[in-house]
Amino acid sequence: MTSGLSGFGLGMRRPHYAAYVDGSAPVDFVEVISENFMVDGGRPLDTLRRARSHYPVALHGVSLSVGSADGLREDYLVRLRRLVDQIEPAVVSDHLCWTRTGGFNSHDLLPLPLTEEALGVVCENIDRAQAALGRTMLFENPSTYLALPGTLTEWDFLREMVSRTGCGLLLDINNIFVSATNHGFAPLDYLAGVPWEAVGQVHLAGHTRSAQLLIDTHDQPVPNAVWALYQNAVDRAGPLPTMIERDDNIPDLGELLEELDIARFPARTNQAEGLAA
């Protein structure tokens, strides 16, 4: 899929704003959380506009809630469209999840039952969102910690979602590894089922191991097992627009750039600790 992005990028986080505003960060694109900039004006939006003068921008949302059975919020779509028109991002993405029901917003990316009924709801909401924005969106596979009853695998759900709506995928490699470990499926089976022609962007991140689960915390370097899975993805699909997410324990920009260099040449990493979940 041609997504408007190419190369290797980082999430634009506050400790490194200055390097993005002056264009000195040696990255090919930056990604921001859409909701942080869905405002009428002020310093956040000015910062993003200044970074946009140097880099393509990916808008990555966390509150669209395409899995909500009561549909999408019109006011949210209006504000997102306003931001899209102002910034002219290379891509707009969100998550395959639900966050809201009625007037309650959980602020968590909650899992969906992988059923035909849920698929119908998701596709209807995606159609509405893409029509409101006037563009194709990417949707990210979630990390999950609870397996709800369902009749589809997640990769089958994604493939059918893409076929019905024409949307693209933001493939999070760490989320595949986390979910595979938590639920006991093989991550290579997931990669074998991905509709690679629809993948417009890749995320890499680290995770934390709790007593019983892996948690997608975005506060650690990308581990060897995730690098190995990324290498397998590149072997299947060729180079993909790739970025590293770090949302806590954020290191110096130089350290993140060194990690991003691994993504440019994943085969140079240490031998993987294994792909089995």
Tell me the per-residue pLDDT of 105-163, one tens digit each, with 9 for 90 and over: 656 677 899 999 999 999 999 999 999 999 999 999 999 988 888 899 999 999 999 99
Q: At what angle do helices 74-87 and 43-52 cross, to 10 degrees?
A: 50
Structure tokens at 107: 């602020």
Between the two ends of the chain, the Cα-to-Cα distance in Å is 28
Report the alpha-carbon distance of residue 167 to residue 148 in Å, rounded: 24
* Residue 274 confidence (pLDDT): 44
The tokens 């910062």 sit on which residue? 47
pLDDT in tens, 21-73: 999 999 999 999 999 999 988 899 999 999 999 999 999 999 999 999 999 99
Burial of 104 (0-12, 13-18, 19+ CB in 10 A): exposed
CA angle 87, 199, 122 (to 5 degrees): 80
Which range is most confident: 95-104, 105-114, 189-198?
189-198
Burial of 103 (0-12, 13-18, 19+ CB in 10 A): exposed
C-alpha neighbours within 13 Å on the C-beta side of residue 233 = 33
pLDDT in tens, 261-277: 999 987 665 434 444 43
Report the alpha-carbon distance of residue 164 to residue 156 in Å, rounded: 12
Q: Residue 85: helix, strand or coil by DSSP?
A: helix
pLDDT at 101 over 70: no
Structure tokens at 103: 């007037």
Band (104; pLDDT cuts 50, 70, 90): low
Band (210; pLDDT cuts 50, 70, 90): confident
Report the alpha-carbon distance of residue 173 to residue 235 in Å, rounded: 14
Report the alpha-carbon distance of residue 62 to residue 19 in Å, rounded: 25
DSSP letter string, 110-121: E----SHHHHHH
Rg of the chain (C-alpha set): 18
C-alpha neighbours within 13 Å on the C-beta side of residue 191 = 23
Structure tokens at 132: 């409101």
Instruction: Sketch out the chain's domains with CATH numbers.
Output: 8-268 (3.20.20.150)
pLDDT at 1 over 80: no
Report the alpha-carbon distance of residue 242 to residue 263 in Å, rounded: 7
Whether 139 contacts 96, CB under 8 Å: yes
* Residue 205 confidence (pLDDT): 97
Report the alpha-carbon distance of residue 52 to residue 47 in Å, rounded: 9
* Residue 273 confidence (pLDDT): 42
